[in-house]
Amino acid sequence: MNLDFEKEYRSEYGTLICGIDEAGRGPLCGPVCAAAVILKENAVIDGLNDSKKLSEKKREELFDVIKDNSVSYGIAFATPQEIDELNILNATFLAMKRAVLMCKPSPVFALVDGNRIKGLDIPAECVVKGDSKSPSIAAASVLAKVTRDRYMCELDQDYPQYNLSSHKGYPTKMHYELIKKYGIRDFYRKSFLKNLSEK
């Protein structure tokens, strides 16, 4: 992956262009995490790709490399409570906005993975499958995924009975069985568990 995809955007908006992606829209528990990354203009990061296509080991290896090759970056959460209150889509937008606000220097334009975005204070363009096209989005996908996975592993230390470090909160047969056995805690998304009795 190289920066050719982003050249036309850089020629129009300059170098302070960030890629934005999220991790954790589908899980039953834990926050949704978003990252915004402004890569250095000539940054070439070997092995950078959509975080879902990388092994956990490779993502961990790239985490600090991406930060070292960034002009700035931001990583932010929206909580399970915010997800229940706003719905997962709007909570994801909120996490993305928070991530952008954490970038210093601030981006002037954003490339966002997916097909919808709202609430950013800067111009933005959605890029479908952007995490496999744009290096900046791919970098954001890695930062978001690693940060969220680490958070879930920390949560697992306090609640080992839910086996969170294994499934990271995603819906699996075993996870549903553990919820039925041990109950719904504050870190669960209540709106995702309305039909738990049917699982």
Q: Delineate the domains of the chain, giving CATH numbers in brackets.
A: 3-198 (3.30.420.10)
**Pairing assessment for the beta strands 109-113 and 17-23 based on DSSP bridges:** parallel
Task: Write out the chain's pLDDT in tens, 199 residues.
Answer: 656 889 999 999 999 999 999 999 999 999 999 999 999 988 889 989 767 889 999 999 999 999 999 999 999 999 999 999 999 999 999 999 999 999 999 999 999 999 999 999 999 999 999 999 999 999 999 999 999 999 999 999 999 999 999 999 999 999 999 999 999 999 999 999 988 867 6
Looking at residue 1, what is its pLDDT? 62
Q: Which helix (H) or strand (E) holds 151?
A: helix 135-158
- Please state the pTM of the whole predicted model: 0.95
Quick check: 106 and 16 in contact, CB under 8 A?
A: yes
β partners of residue 39: 70
109-113: strand order across its sheet = 70-78, 32-39, 17-23, 109-113, 124-127
Quick check: 91 and 78 in contact, CB under 8 A?
A: yes
